[in-house]
Copies of this chain bind each other. A is one copy, B any other.
Amino acid sequence: MALFMKAYVYVSLKKSVLDPQGKTIQGALNKIGYKGLQDVRQGKYFEITLNGGLSKDDAQAEVERMAREVLTNPVIEEFRFSLEE
């Protein structure tokens, strides 16, 4: 039987794009007293369980396609992903 695979997709704003949400979190953390913060940026994170009907290579391609075409806005965001068996 094919095993369930897990894919983890991380979507973050491009370096060149301002992240006011991250800045707000950083300001709040500073105010509460956390030290040593240089920068905070927030992104999204998707945990995708695949039903095992795909080979590892197919799964890799399918997840990359999903991440690129649907989960990411290519104008302002970039993504990376990993696949686990």
Q: Give A residues with C-beta under 8 Å from B.
A: 4, 10-12, 22, 25, 28-29, 32, 34-54, 58-59, 62, 65-66, 70-71
Q: What 20 new A-B contacts, CB under 8 Å, besides A39-B47, A43-B47, A44-B44?
A: A10-B45, A22-B47, A34-B62, A35-B62, A36-B50, A36-B51, A36-B58, A37-B49, A38-B51, A39-B48, A40-B46, A40-B47, A40-B49, A41-B47, A41-B48, A43-B44, A43-B45, A43-B46, A44-B45, A45-B45
Q: Across the interface, which residues of B come within 8 angstroms of A66, CB to CB?
A: 29, 34
What DSSP secondary structure best describes chain A's contact surface? Answer: mixed
Q: Contact at A42–B41, with CB atoms within 8 Å? A: no
10 interchain pairs, CB-CB under 8 A: A10-B45, A22-B47, A36-B53, A37-B51, A40-B46, A40-B48, A40-B49, A41-B46, A41-B47, A43-B44
